[in-house]
Structure 1
Amino acid sequence: MARYLVYCTTAPGHLFPLVPGLRALRDRGHEVHLRIGAKLVDGPWSQGLQVAPTDPRIDEIDVREPTTGSGAARLRKAIAGLMSRGPLERADLDRAIAETDPDVVLVDTNAYGAAVAARASGRRWGIALPTLIALPGKGIPPYGMGLAPASGPLGRLRDRVLWPLLIRQFGAAMLPPLNELRAGAGLAPLTSPLDYLLEADQVLVLTGEPLEYPRSDVPAHIRFVGAQIYDPPGETPAWLDEPGDPWVLVTTSTEYQGDERLALAAAEALRDEPVRVLITLADAFGRVDLPAAPNIRVERFVPHGPVLERAAAVVCHSGMGIVQKAVAAGVPVVAVPFGRDQPEVARRVVEAGAGVLLPARKLTADRLRAAVGTARSQRAGALQASRRLLRQAGGEVFAVAAEELLAGTEVSSQAV
C-alpha cells in the first residue's frame, strides 16, 4: 500500500475529474489524502478519501479570469491571480507533507505554489491536468486559438510561426511570478513555460481520444488517462420523465465568466421550437432575467447525468467537464466558447465529429437555433465519438498511471 497526497484548487471542474481515479487508487489498497477548499470538503465525492481543507486564506484571493479586455491582458490577469496564491499554497502543501508523509504528491495544474513545494520536497510528484495539454508536437496546431489541424505547406508554416509566439506570450505572463516562487524554494528558474510540465515526474492528462489529437512524439512521462467522468449523486427530478418533446440542455460555466448571454440566446432561440429546454446557470443564477416560455425550465444546478440520458443536444460554453460528459453520453454538442481553454475544447468537438462550433462573438438567437438543428443531425457522429472516448476512460486507467509514478517504472495492475 502506498500513500498519495493530492492537492487541488477549489474548483469543481478540477476536483470532479479526479474523483474516479482517486477512488480507484483507494479500491486498489492505497491511502489517499486530499487537500481541497473548505466548501468542497464535505461533499459526496470525499467518500473513502481522507479529506482536509486547504488554508482558507487561499480561497479569499479571487482568481476569476476577467470578462473584458484583450486575450493577452486577460491571460496575464488570470495567471497573476493564480500566482498570487502561490506563497500560501507552498506553505500549505509543506504542512500537508509533514502531516501525511506521502510516497507520492499529485498537484492540480493551477496550484503553482503547491507544484513548487512538491518539486522542492524531493518526493515523486506529478501534475493533474483536467483539460487538453498545451504542448507542441508533430501535427498539433497552436494551442488556445481553436485552430484546425494544419493541411498542406501553408498550414505547417502557420504552426511553425504561431507556436513560438504563443509560448512567448505564455512565458511573459507565467515565468516571472513562477520563478519568484521557485527562488523562494531554492529551485532554479525555468526558461520556458513548457518546462513547468516537462520537469514533473509525471503529468496525468485527464482526457484522451477523440478530444486529444493523436501524438507520435509525446514525452514518456505525459500520460493520457482518458476522460474521468464524475457527476455528484442526486435524485432524478420527476419532471425529466414527464412525456413531451426531447430535451436540450443549456449550461453555463460553474466558475462565473459572464456567459449568461448564452442562456439568453438559447431561451430566445428555442422558446418556440418543438423541444423542452433545461437551462442550468450555476454562478450566473440570479444575474440574468430569461424570457418565460412553457418549454423552458431554469435551474441553478441539476446533475447532468440524468439529463444527458434524455437529451437530444447540449448547448454549452465549451467547458471541458460538460463536453466530456456529453461526448461520453453520445449527445451532440453546440460549443460556444467564451475564454480560458474553451476555444480549443470547442475545436476538438468539431474535429471529433461530436458537434458544432459557434463562436461567442457570432452568437445570436437565429444562429444558435440553426446550430442546434445541425448538431441534432450529427447524432451518429456523436455516438461514434462516445465509443472512442469510452474505450480508454475511467478511474482504473488513472490509477494504473499513478502507480507507475510511485514506482518510477511500469508496475503490475495489482496494488503496490
Structure 2
Amino acid sequence: MATILCYTSPARGHLFPTMPILLELRRRGHDVVVYTLLEELPNVRAAGLRARAIDGHIEAIQHDDYEASSVVGALDRAVQTFVARAEHEVLDLREAIRTEKPDALIVDFNCWGAAAVAEASSVPWALFMPYFLPWRLPGLPPFGPGLAPRSDLLGRVRDSVAASVVHRLVNRNLPKLNAVRERVGLPKLGHMTEQGRTAPRVLYYTAEPFEYPCAARPKSVIMLGPSVWEPSAPEPAWLSSIDRPIVLVTCSTEAQGDGAIIEAALEGLAEESVFVVATSASAQRSAHSVPSNARVERFVPHGPLLGRAACVVCHGGMGITQKALSRGVPVCVIPFGRDQHEVARHVEVAGAGVSLDPKRLSPERLRAAVREARKRKEGAALVAEGFARAGGAPRAATEVEALMQASRRSPGDRTALQSRAPFGGAQS
C-alpha cells in the first residue's frame, strides 16, 4: 500500500473533480490524504478519505478577477492570486510531506508554490488540470480571450496579436513566480506559459471533441474526460412532483457577481413550458419573487436534476459545464471571467450549446439562448461519447501507479519519471 498526498487550491471546482480519482486509488488499496479547503473536510472524510486543511493564509487570498474591466485584465488578476498563494503553499506542502511521508504527490495545477515543491522533491508527482491548458501550443489560439481555432493566415495573425497582449500582461508576474522557484532550488521559467510543463504527468479533466485537437500536445498530458463527484445527499423530495423538462441554472461556487444569471432566468423563462431549478451557490440575489415554474436553492445535488434536464444555464465553470455535457445535456453559458470565456467558446465550437455575453444579458435574450441551446442536443451527445471513451478515474489511477512503479525501478533517477517527454510529442 502506498501513501498518496493530494494538494488542492481552495476551490470546490478543483477538489470535486479530483475526488473520483482519489476514491479509485483508495479502492485499489492505497492510503490517500487530501489537503484542501477547510469547509470541505467533512465531505471528504465522509467519502472515506483522510483530509487536512490547507494553510488558512491561502484561503484568505480570494479571487478578485471578476472586478476587472476586461477578459485579459481578469486573467492578470487570477495570475496575481496564484502567485500570492504560492509563498504559503511552499511551507504548507513541505510540512505535509514531512508529516505524511507520501509515496506520490498529486497537485492542483493552480498551486504554483506546491507544484514547485513537488518538482524539487524526490517524490513521484503529477499535476491535475481541471480547466483548459494555458500553454502555448502550435495551432491553438492563446488561452484567455476565448478565441476559436483558425488555421488560415488571418487566424494566425489574430493569434499572434492576441498572444502578444495576453502574454505581456501575465508575464509581469514572472519575477515573483521565479522567486518562489529559486527559493526551492528550481531554475527560472522563461515565460509564464511554461508553468507546469515539467510535470511527469498532467491529469487533464477533459477530452476531444470538447477539447480542440492538437498534435503538439505533450505526451505527459493524459486526457481523462471529466471526473464527476458531489457530496452525498438525498434526492430532493420535491423533484418527483415536477412534470416538465428541467432547466438547471447555476452560479459559481466562488464569488464573481454572477447572480444576474438567476434573475434573468426566472423572468425570461417564467412563461416557458419548463421548470427552472436555480442554485445560487456563492451568488447574492435580490429578493425578487420566484415564479410558479421555478425553485431557488443555494445548493442542490446536480446529479438527479441532470437526469431530467433539457438544458443547463451556467457561468461556464468547467465543472458544471462538463458535468452537463457528460450526461448529453446542452448548455447555455454566460461567461463572467477566469477560464469561462474559453469554456463558452469550446461549447460553441463543439456544437453542444450556445454562449451569451453577460453584458448583453436580459430575460429576453436568455430565453432565446435557451431555446437555441436545446436544439444542440446532438452535439452534447457527441461530447458525452468522447468523455466516456477517455478512461476517467481508472485511467488516472493507473497513471499515478505507473509513476510510483517507475520510481521504484529507478530510485533517485528523475529521468525515469519524465518518460513521457513533457516538452514534446503527441497525445497517445
In 1: Cα distance, 2:399 partner to 2:214 partner = 18
Residue 162 of structure 2 aligns with which residue? 162
| Maintained 8 Å contact 1:228/1:393 | no
Partner SS state of residue 41, structure 1: helix
Partner SS for 1:284: coil
Q: Distance in 2 between matches of 1:76 and 1:387?
A: 35
Give the structure 1 partner of residue 248 of structure 2. Answer: 249
Shift in Å, 1:24: 1.1
Corresponding position of 2:29? 29
Q: The residue matched to 2:42 in structure 1 has which SS?
A: coil
**Partners of 2:330 and 2:353 within 8 A in 1:** yes
Deviation track 1:330-377 (CA, whole Å, cap 9, x = no partner) reads: 111011111000000011111222111112122121111111111112
d(CA) in 1 for partners of 2:312, 2:45: 25
The residue that corresponds to 1:414 in the other structure is none
Deviates more, 1:349-358 or 1:65-74: 65-74
Q: Deviations over 1:301-322 (max 9, x none)?
A: 1010001101111111011000
Give the 3 Å change call, closer, same or farther, for CA 8–275 of structure 1 in structure 2.
Answer: same
SS in 2 for 1:207: coil
Contact residue 4 and residue 32 of structure 2 kept, 8 A: yes
Asked whether the equivalents of residues 225 and 391 of structure 2 are also in contact (C-alpha less than 8 Å), the reply is yes
The CA distance in 2 between the partners of 1:137 and 1:39, in whole Å, is 37
Q: Distance in 2 between matches of 1:96 and 1:44?
A: 17
Matched, 1:132 2:135: no
Once the two structures are superposed, the pairs formed by residues 158-197 of structure 1 within 5 Å of their partners are 158-173=158-173, 175-197=174-196
Q: Which residue of 2 aligns with 1:382?
A: 380
Partners of 1:151 and 1:187 in 2: how far apart?
36
Q: Structure 2: 5+ residue runs without aligned partners?
A: 407-416, 421-428
1:109 alignment partner AA: F
SS at match of 1:198: coil
For the aligned residue pairs, the C-alpha RMSD in angstroms reads 1.9
Q: Does the 8 Å CA contact 1:229/1:394 hold for their aligned counterparts?
A: no
Which residue of 1 is the match for residue 102 of structure 2? 102
**Structure 1 equivalent of residue 411 of structure 2:** none
The aligned counterpart of 2:355 is 357
Give runs of aligned pairs for residues 72-87 of structure 1, distance below 5 A: 72-87=72-87
Structure 2 matches for 1:208-357, cutoff 5 A? 208-285=207-284, 287-357=285-355
Report the residue type matching 1:113 in the other structure: G
CA distance in 2, matches of 1:142, 1:257: 23
The residue type paired with residue 228 of structure 1 is S
**Which segment is superposed worse, 62-71 or 313-322?**
62-71
Q: How much does 1:152 deviate? A: 2.5
Q: 1:304 to 1:344 in 2, by over 3 A?
A: same
- Counterpart code for 1:251: T
Alignment partner of 2:335: what SS? coil
Per-residue CA distance 1:126-181 (angstroms, 9 max, x = gap): 221111111233332222211111043212332244334433322223x1221121
Residue 4 of structure 1 aligns to a residue whose secondary structure is strand
Letter of the 1:250 partner, please give it: V
Equivalent in the alignment of 2:16: 16
Q: Distance in 2 between matches of 1:360 and 1:235?
A: 33
Name the amino acid aligned to 1:23. L
Maintained 8 Å contact 2:72/2:144: no
Q: Per-residue deviation at 1:233?
A: 1.9
Moved more, 35-44 or 330-339: 35-44
Partner letter of residue 399 of structure 2?
A
Letter in 1 for 2:175: P
141-150 or 323-332, larger mean C-alpha shift: 141-150
Give 1:194 shift. 2.3
> What is the aligned partner in structure 2 of residue 60 from structure 1?
60
Taking structure 1 as the reference length, the TM-score comes to: 0.93
1-structure distance, mates of 2:46, 2:107: 17
- Give the number of aligned pairs: 408
For 1:370, give the aligned amino acid.
Answer: A
1:45/1:232 contact within 8 Å kept: no
Note if contact 2:127-2:199 (Cα within 8 Å) is conserved in structure 1: yes
Would the alpha carbon gap of residues 349 and 72 (structure 1) be closer, same or farther in structure 2, given more than 3 Å must change? Answer: closer
Aligned to 2:169, the other structure's residue is in SS state helix
Identity %: 42
What is the SS of the residue equivalent to 1:105? strand
Residue 88 of structure 1 pairs with residue 83 of structure 2: no
Residue identity matched to 1:7: Y
| Residue of structure 1 in register with 2:426 after alignment | none
Counterpart contact for 2:10–2:58, Cα < 8 Å: no
Deviation at 1:46, TM superposition (A): 5.3
- Distance in 2 separating the partners of 1:130 and 1:48: 22
State the distance in 2 between where 1:330 and 1:193 align.
35
Counterpart amino acid of 1:382?
A
Q: Distance in 2 between matches of 1:200 and 1:101?
A: 20
Q: Determine helix, strand or coil for the equivalent of 2:332.
A: strand
Kept in 2, the 8 Å contact 1:19–1:230? The answer is yes
Larger deviation: 385-394 or 156-165?
Answer: 156-165
1:148 aligns with 2:160: no
Q: Is 1:201 the equivalent of 2:195?
A: no
Listed one character per residue, the Cα deviations across residues 9-36 of structure 1 (whole Å, up to 9, x for unaligned) are: 1211010010111111122222222111
Determine helix, strand or coil for the equivalent of 2:288: coil
- State whether residues 330 and 386 of structure 1, in contact with CA within 8 Å, keep that contact through their aligned partners in structure 2: yes
Given residue 122 of structure 2, which amino acid in structure 1 is its aligned partner?
A: G
The amino acid across from 1:110 in the alignment is: N
Residue type of the partner of 1:309?
A: G
What is the CA–CA distance in structure 1 between the aligned matches of 2:102 and 2:230, rounded to whole Å? Answer: 28
